[in-house]
Amino acid sequence: MTEAKHEELNSNGKKPLKMEEAVHVEVADDIPPELEALLHAEPCVGLSDSEVAERTAQFGLNEIPETKTNPLLKFLSYFLGPISYLLEIACILSGVFEDWIDFGILLAVLIINACIGFFEEARAESALDALKNTLALKSRCWRNGKLVEVDSNTLVPGDIIALRLGDIIPADCRLLGVGVQGEISEGTLQIDQSALTGESLPVQKGKGVTAYSSAIVKQGQMLAVVTKTGINTFIGRAANLISITTEEGHFQKIINSIGNFLVIITCGMAVVLFFVRTWAVPEDKDASTGDRVKAALLEVLVLTIAAIPVGLPTIMSVTMAVGASQLAKKEVIVKRLTAIEELASVSILCSDKTGTLTLNQLSFDKPYLSNKGNTTDDFHGTGVPYTEQDLLLASFFASEPGAQDAIESAIRKAAQTRVTILKERENQDHHIPGYKVNNFIPFNPTSKYTEATVTDLSTGKKFRTIKGAPQVIVRMVGGHDEATAAVNDFARRGLRALGVARTVDDAMTKFEMIGMISLLDPPRPDSAHTIEECHKLGISVKMITGDQQIIGKEVAHRLGMHRTILDASKLMDTTIDEDALIDRCVKCDGFAQVIPEHKYKVVELLQKRGYLVGMTGDGVNDAPALKKANVGIAVEGCTDAARSAADIVLLAAGLSTIVDGVKTSRAIFQRMRSYALYRIASTIHFLLFFFISICAYGFSLPPRLIILIAVLNDAATLVISVDNAQISQRPDKWRLGQLITLSFILGFLLMIISWAHFFVAHYGVGYTQHSYDKYPNEENAGVLQTIMYLQISSCPHFVIFSTRLPGYFYENMPSWTFIIAVAGTQVFAMFMSIFGIRALDATAIGWGWGVGVLAVSTVMFMLLDIVKVQIIRKWSFDLTVKLYPTKARKAELQTRLAKRALKARVDANIIKARKVYYMTMAVVAWRKALSQSKKAVKGAAGSTAVGIN
């Protein structure tokens, strides 16, 4: 056997195990040749002032420009939208016709809507500004041959900067392998770039490697040359992704769709009505065309004002503003009010791992412990294993006091909280009761371990302990396959390992393996529960991390998730189409080794499938995805970039407040949906009834009563923002087809009920003249108008007690504030109608009509509630396609039907496979029982034979 071959084998002739090592994947960022030419200044000289000025003019300041919206333009933006446009037109026409009461009301509604939205978002932004921390404002830099302190935003490519422990790196820079004073250094910097890449562990970087802006130096010192600044840095690339993301919000799309629908039917009926009242069936045939046009315009104007859902934007804004205040008490700051509604609809939550699902700090995990007396050939030793306390105490001996290294800190913390003699110390310095550390050798890149020489004061015996890289410690003990296997297991699970050994001879030369420490960035205590709660609420959680795939799998497993964590490179696979990529995103539980573009891509792909996506994060690398997501959520301790890009900011650690936010947002969604359904149904009812009554009978209400219905009812409905709401266990969704269809049916039924009242009242008060004649009896006409005012005011308004729930109205009782506000307005309307108020054009109708109309309205809303429940229960996407057969819906229906058929086949095959499995297991169990029975018979026969002999 050759010498080389002999060295590959242990003393027992077996080939030793090889240690598996996880390889760090460095993020690459190319430097163009023209920029490379500027990066060769003398390390301890730096650039001159003239060079700095020239390069500042060429590259700009070292800062990412922040675009501020002009406050006036922002305020004016709240006057945009279909409903606002209709209100503005009506307001202008009211001024033209000198109808100053309507003009004042409409103008006030417009300004109130804008002010609520503007000031609520301004308040949220002010709260965020108060949270901002200033980072890396000053840097140490060599200029003109002197090491000076300069403002970080004045750095330019080619500047020589000094990086030391605790520094926040102010720009992308290349490490020079030179000490701060110019001495040659072979050392490395330990850099925490979790805020940038999402990696949970600090990385070692040496000469020639790029360190990125906003990363933090955890250990070491070195000079570096600035390579990129401002918008050109790695962070700047993320900022560019943010700047190009300017999509219209989901909520704004919904409001615009509802507004467009109402505006179209209102304008359509208004045009027809104007034509009828002016030329087809004029009220006064002897009047001039100009007078008829003016009269018809005024009539149409009043009707249009009453039909416009003037309170829709206001009530939506107030409801969300109240919700934002409720969330603020739970340490959730809402930057964009509409994000509250969108959070209720989120069906997929993409969460950053490091610092969000995990603590972003290394912690001691379950270790591997060797047996005492173990050797290279005999792992069993005495058979008595070292304890966890033995391992941690030996590690503590070999730990550097006060070192800020993440690994050293984790081990010292674990030892001080778990080792009895360390917990019982009076002072918490490096003093160890019963032992004395005589000598300590710190870690260096060559040896890759720390060492301590220790005296046991009780026996006077000295020994050495070492702690370091697993492969080094295994070599120091002469080889240890069992420890190597444990390290490989740790590596496959994404755990960082450290070996610990001690000497067992008087000469302190022979080392014995104590064990292997495993370290992991552990999940936050509440993360697993939060993910479980999200699943109960119908939200799928996907973990997205910059860490290695094996680390992602291990953390996912500990969080109760599946381990389907894919490498982010799969997102850039050009061999498959986009639909297949989207399927990957939907089916997997997360992605590992991502960069900002990957996170952005994940959100984009999921949105293309129609999902509303929430994204949580805390680092610069999360900012583009936070901006792109329907709801971006910046968690506690986030960077300025993440906070700026997010819609919601969490002030409390962890994700537990997200569950509170989802529940609150779903309650708010239910309130907004109930109001939208009520208001659309009321508008349809109002338009249909008066369109027919004016065209067929020339009947309408006095303008003041119409305005009173619109303003009083919507004002009372404002209290829906504090109503009790039934929280959905699935993501809420604006089903516009269902909403509009249900609204139309309810509005149509309300119109029939109003016509029934009209005919009963028409004949009941003695008004029987032809439809187009002037009222012969003004008193009777006034009574009829007031009766219809009370019915049109109360019946649709009571319907809101039904629309506030998808189920029956009695399944969840409204709040007393809501009951009093809604009922109070109708009681006021009833007494006003009973006794009459001439100033408001209300004629006294007496107790019989007043109480009777209100009682019928109460019964009618209960009947309409049954209709609502039945429609909602029978509604499906298939029905939507039948009612609104667009090309896109038909294609979607075919896709869904194909998926249903596939699922049915798969389920059927699973059932068949289970039957075969159960039959096979039954046969195996029967054969096993038969075999055992035969053995028992043979045993009994053997015993009998022995007895006979």
Secondary structure (DSSP) of 341-352: HHHHH--EEEEE
Please tell me which residue, 778 or 148, carries the higher pLDDT value: 148
221-230, 420-429, 647-656, 891-900: which has the minimum mean pLDDT? 420-429
Structural tokens at position 492:
């496959």
Confidence of residue 173 (pLDDT cuts 50, 70, 90): very high
Q: What is the mean pLDDT of the chain?
A: 80
Q: Please choose, from the candidates 634, 739, 676, 640, the residue with its C-alpha nearest in 3D space to the C-alpha of residue 339.
A: 634
Predicted confidence at residue 131, as pLDDT, reads: 39
Catalytic residue of the set 99, 159, 172, 352: 352
Please tell me which residue, 833 or 734, carries the higher pLDDT value: 833
Q: What is the 3-state secondary structure (H, E, C) of 820-886?
A: HHHHHHHHHHHHHHHHCEHHHCECCCHHHHHHHHHHHHHHHHHHHHHHHHHHHHHCCHHHHHHHCCC
Predicted confidence at residue 394, as pLDDT, reads: 93
Residue 780 to residues 692, 706, 755, 762, 775, Cα–Cα distance (Å): 21, 19, 18, 9, 8
Q: Please choose, from the candidates 632, 638, 640, the residue with its C-alpha nearest in 3D space to the C-alpha of residue 661.
A: 632
Going by the DSSP 8-state scheme, the letter that residue 370 receives in this structure is P
> For a pLDDT cut of 90, what percent of the chain falls above it?
13
Structural tokens at position 16:
């030793």
348-352 vs 540-544, strand pairing mode: parallel
Beta-bridged to residue 496, according to DSSP, are 519
Q: How far apart are CA 822 and CA 713, in angstroms?
A: 8
Q: How far apart are CA 686 and CA 751, in angstroms?
A: 7
Stretch 375-400: mean pLDDT: 88
Give 881's contacts (C-beta < 8 A, 6+ positions apart). 889, 890, 892, 893
Predicted confidence at residue 641, as pLDDT, reads: 66
φ and ψ of 104, to 5 deg: -65, -40
Taking 80 as the threshold, does the pLDDT of residue 341 lie above it?
no
Stretch 727-745: mean pLDDT: 84
Q: How far apart are CA 251 and CA 397, in angstroms?
A: 60
Q: How far apart are CA 344 and CA 727, in angstroms?
A: 10
Going by the DSSP 8-state scheme, the letter that residue 22 receives in this structure is P
Please tell me which residue, 620 or 803, carries the higher pLDDT value: 803
Tell me: the pLDDT tens digits for 276-300? 777 665 555 555 666 777 777 777 7
Q: How far apart are CA 255 and CA 743, in angstroms?
A: 15
Exposure class string for 516-546: b at 16+ Cβ within 10 A, else e: bbbbbbbbbebbebbbebbeebebbbbbbbb
Exposure class string for 821-839: b at 16+ Cβ within 10 A, else e: bbbebbeebbebbbebeee
Confidence of residue 488 (pLDDT cuts 50, 70, 90): confident
Give 413's contacts (C-beta < 8 A, 6+ positions apart). 364
Predicted confidence at residue 249, as pLDDT, reads: 53
Tell me: the pLDDT tens digits for 722-733? 788 788 888 888
Exposure class string for 601-611: b at 16+ Cβ within 10 A, else e: bbbbbbbeeeb
DSSP assignment of 96-156: HTT-HHHHHHHHHHHHHHHHHHHHHHHHHHHHHHHH------EEEEEETTEEEEEEGGG--
Beta-bridged to residue 219, according to DSSP, are 190
Helix (H, G, I), strand (E, B) or coil at 673: helix
Taking 50 as the threshold, does the pLDDT of residue 134 lie above it?
no
Beta-bridged to residue 765, according to DSSP, are none
Q: How far apart are CA 833 and CA 845, in angstroms?
A: 6
Q: Which H/E stretch holds residue 332? A: strand 332-334
User: Helices 406-418 and 388-397 meet at what angle, rounded to 10?
Assistant: 130
Length of the chain: 949
Predicted confidence at residue 426, as pLDDT, reads: 67
Going by the DSSP 8-state scheme, the letter that residue 167 receives in this structure is P
Q: How far apart are CA 171 and CA 230, in angstroms?
A: 7
Alpha helix ranges (H) inside 636-655? 640-645
Helix (H, G, I), strand (E, B) or coil at 591: strand
Q: Please choose, from the candidates 508, 521, 470, 465, the residue with its C-alpha nearest in 3D space to the C-alpha of residue 368.
A: 470
Q: Which H/E stretch holds residue 440? A: strand 435-441
Confidence of residue 752 (pLDDT cuts 50, 70, 90): very high
Predicted confidence at residue 445, as pLDDT, reads: 67
Predicted confidence at residue 455, as pLDDT, reads: 93
Confidence of residue 321 (pLDDT cuts 50, 70, 90): confident
Burial class (CB in 10 A: 0-12, 13-18, 19+), 809: buried
Confidence of residue 64 (pLDDT cuts 50, 70, 90): low
Stretch 681-705: mean pLDDT: 82
Taking 70 as the threshold, does the pLDDT of residue 171 lie above it?
yes
Taking 80 as the threshold, does the pLDDT of residue 494 lie above it?
no
Which of 214-228, 432-446, 857-871, 888-902 has maximum average pLDDT?
857-871
Taking 80 as the threshold, does the pLDDT of residue 689 lie above it?
yes
Tell me: the pLDDT tens digits for 595-647? 777 888 888 889 888 888 998 877 666 777 888 888 888 887 776 667 777 88
Stretch 809-815: mean pLDDT: 86
Tell me: the pLDDT tens digits for 658-682? 888 888 888 888 887 888 888 888 8
Give 650's contacts (C-beta < 8 A, 6+ positions apart). 331, 332, 333, 633, 634, 635, 636, 657, 658
Amino acid code (one letter) for 382? T
Confidence of residue 132 (pLDDT cuts 50, 70, 90): very low
Q: How far apart are CA 150 and CA 314, in angstroms?
A: 50
Predicted confidence at residue 894, as pLDDT, reads: 84
Beta strands in 176-241 (DSSP E): 189-192, 203-205, 210-211, 216-219, 222-228
CA angle 93, 94, 96 (to 5 degrees): 60
- Number of Cβ atoms within 10 Å of the Cβ of 180: 18
Contact 303, 682 (CB under 8 A): no
Taking 90 as the threshold, does the pLDDT of residue 180 lie above it?
no
Taking 50 as the threshold, does the pLDDT of residue 531 lie above it?
yes
* Residue found under tokens 């005589």: 438
Stretch 783-793: mean pLDDT: 89
172-175 vs 160-163, strand pairing mode: unpaired
Going by the DSSP 8-state scheme, the letter that residue 810 receives in this structure is G
Q: How far apart are CA 941 and CA 763, in angstroms?
A: 108
First to last CA, the chain: 59
Stretch 209-215: mean pLDDT: 85
Taking 90 as the threshold, does the pLDDT of residue 859 lie above it?
yes
Q: How far apart are CA 787 and CA 849, in angstroms?
A: 7
Active site residue 286: no
Confidence of residue 393 (pLDDT cuts 50, 70, 90): very high
Taking 60 as the threshold, does the pLDDT of residue 858 lie above it?
yes
Q: What residue ranges define each of the domains in the chain, with the CATH number in brackets?
A: 33-234 (2.70.150.10), 252-323+662-875 (1.20.1110.10), 332-358+523-651 (3.40.50.1000), 363-520 (3.40.1110.10)
Q: Please choose, from the candidates 298, 275, 148, the residue with its C-alpha nearest in 3D space to the C-alpha of residue 706.
A: 298
Confidence of residue 855 (pLDDT cuts 50, 70, 90): very high
Structural tokens at position 80:
């945009």
Please tell me which residue, 13 or 215, carries the higher pLDDT value: 215
Stretch 161-181: mean pLDDT: 86
Predicted confidence at residue 136, as pLDDT, reads: 44
